[in-house]
């Protein structure tokens, strides 16, 4: 599939299957461009983490929760920052932050606190250089932020209210959609790699699936 975005039809919009193919093509581009050393380092961080805490704002937060759930399924002690049952963070623990911009204030504050507590910080992002990237021990770049705008607020809640977004995607998938989709696929690939690395017994995994829904 050509890497460029196809011409928009003169009338109407792209068909749904065309939009899906466009997004799938972007995901393939992102996977092929992934720095294998960054991915390997992230995997190593997961393997040695005492406990894994995840953090993200908005849809990135939903992706982080999905990752924490899968980590629990394969036997990791994992928690979501902000939940009432999340225990105190301490030395030897690892934060996995999902932030397309790497600048969201609330996520930066969480990472900064984790750093002060001698924890490890792993960042999944779409921006090569950011405040969180500068303090992270491990960074995985998925795609890239196509535009930088210093006038855009770094507060997630403010951006939502006024309609500004820092993780900008192609016009057919706006508002950070491609980063969030890539982050979900990447985190699921990490889960698959962890299953192989830890020789997880799938019967044990099934036994950790929720049975009180």
- Active site residue ranges: 180
End-to-end CA distance of the chain: 41
How many other C-beta atoms can be found within 10 angstroms of the C-beta atom of residue 15? Answer: 10
For the beta sheet containing 138-141, the strands, ordered from the edge strand earlier in sequence to the opposite edge, are: 78-80, 52-56, 94-98, 120-125, 138-141
Residue whose tokens read 């899906």? 20
What is the torsion angle, in degrees rounded to the nearest 10, for the CA atoms of residue 82, residue 129, residue 143 and residue 149?
Answer: 90
Determine the longest span between alpha carbons in the chain, in angstroms: 58
Scanning the chain, the segments in alpha helix (DSSP H) are 16-33, 36-48, 58-73, 105-116, 131-135, 156-162, 177-198, 202-207
CA distances from 83 to 54, 86, 99, 156, 197 (A): 11, 5, 19, 18, 29
């Amino acid at each position: 599939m050509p890497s460029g975005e196809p011409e928009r039809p003169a009338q109407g919009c792209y068909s749904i299957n065309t939009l899906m193919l466009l997004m799938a093509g972007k995901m393939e581009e992102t996977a092929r461009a992934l720095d294998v050393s960054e991915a390997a380092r992230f995997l190593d961080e997961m393997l040695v983490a005492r406990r894994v805490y995840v953090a993200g704002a908005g849809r990135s937060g939903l992706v982080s929760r999905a990752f924490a759930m899968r980590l629990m399924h394969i036997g990791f002690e994992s928690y979501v920052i902000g939940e009432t049952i999340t225990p105190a963070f301490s030395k030897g623990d690892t934060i996995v932050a999902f932030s397309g911009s790497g600048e969201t204030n609330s996520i930066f504050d969480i990472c900064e606190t984790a750093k002060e507590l001698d924890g490890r910080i792993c960042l999944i992002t779409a921006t090569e250089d950011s405040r969180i990237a500068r303090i992270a021990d491990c960074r995985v770049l998925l795609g890239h932020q196509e535009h930088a705008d210093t006038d855009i607020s770094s507060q997630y809640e403010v951006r939502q209210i006024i309609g500004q977004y820092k993780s900008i995607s192609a016009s057919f998938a706006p508002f950070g959609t491609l980063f969030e989709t890539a982050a979900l696929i990447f985190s699921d690939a990490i889960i698959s790699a962890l299953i192989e690395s830890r020789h997880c017994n799938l019967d044990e995994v099934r036994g950790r699936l929720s049975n009180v829904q």
